[in-house]
Copies of this chain bind each other. A is one copy, B any other.
């Protein structure tokens, strides 16, 4: 029998209604004809999805599994998204919550270039979370950004990234900004990485990425929902860089719990499949509305066995302060990146003291500490 790809959805009940929705998905995502269409037996047997399970959830919804021939996705990201959530995305009450991939499908993807282990080797840091910050606010001068990055490095930070709002609408301004920050960091002679935001019209992405890598930098911040998930996949498959994925513009996929794509599937599985080494998401308790369970599920998907694909770093952030350190440590353990922006930069002693204060917290979370 051909290999199967199982898509799991949460839909409205009662059972008969849920089963009907599951059958509608199985049709809509493959043959897309009315149920009374005279399908050939070969199509009905080999193309149409099959309803594999219907069961109630604890929240009063129904979890249904639809089993598709994996060949329909052909090991391709676009074809896969179309298959499991193309027209189904148009229904107001169907949420894609999980996918079980056959090994052959995953075999077509190269996944994260560095992942958990590779990034640790790059930084020479073992057994503790990594400390990251964002350069902001946009509108600062290159010198101000460079000074903040250098101070963060002196304070012991591991990764400084551009704020995702910083987009440099000209190639020239992008180059001079990145150059100024990279120079300042290199003068500090610390093992602190700088990830510029890779944002540009598609025609220019390659040139910007090449500039970044030629400059000796090792990775980028990227917004996959904006540049396109398949753009991330293409760039990651063709350039040995660290890709830090930011969730900008992707919230509509998961923000409403009765529709869209489950947080863990979108920010965990899909980002990793597309080649993200790091997935940034707003931590529970910050200024966005992710629950602790959602954050833990993303983290689980980032690290779980996933074919031959390297594990990905979860990077919770979004309004975290020093007082959240113990919770971060307990929730995410050592294999996580703490992304601290505003509160670190605003530290009474400046960004260097801010980095030092957060670094102490990160060290306290070291293995065995």
A interface residues (Cβ-Cβ under 8 A, vs B): 24, 28-34, 36-40, 42-43, 46-47, 71-79, 81-83, 85-92, 134, 136-140, 163-165, 167, 169-170, 199-203, 223, 225-231, 233-234, 247-256, 258-261, 282, 287-289, 319, 341-343, 345-346
| A229–B224 alpha-carbon span in the complex (Å) | 12
Query: Which chain B residues lie closer than 8 Å to A137 at the CB level?
Result: 30-33, 37, 39, 43, 47
Given contacts A82-B223, A92-B256, A251-B90, is CB(A33)–CB(B136) below 8 Å? Answer: yes
Is the CB–CB distance between B282 and A37 below 8 Å?
Answer: no
Query: Which chain B residues lie closer than 8 Å to A230 at the CB level?
Result: 201-202, 226-228, 231
| A43–B144 alpha-carbon span in the complex (Å) | 13
Partner of A89, one of B34, B200, B227, B251: B251
Query: Which chain B residues lie closer than 8 Å to A85 at the CB level?
Result: 249
The distance from the CB of A221 to the nearest CB of chain B, in whole angstroms, is 12
Partner of A31, one of B33, B165, B200, B261: B165
The distance from the CB of A344 to the nearest CB of chain B, in whole angstroms, is 11
Query: Which chain B residues lie closer than 8 Å to A254 at the CB level?
Result: 252
The 5 closest A-B pairs by CB, nearest first: A228-B228, A74-B169, A89-B251, A31-B137, A86-B248
Query: Which chain B residues lie closer than 8 Å to A76 at the CB level?
Result: 167, 169, 200-201
Among residues of B, the one whose C-beta sits closest to the C-beta of A226 is B78
Query: Which chain B residues lie closer than 8 Å to A33 at the CB level?
Result: 136-137, 341-342, 345-346
| 18 contacts across the A-B interface (CB closer than 8 A) | A28-B287, A29-B165, A31-B165, A43-B137, A71-B169, A72-B138, A73-B169, A77-B201, A81-B226, A86-B249, A89-B249, A91-B255, A92-B255, A92-B256, A202-B233, A203-B234, A252-B260, A255-B259
Is the CB–CB distance between B139 and A234 below 8 Å?
Answer: no
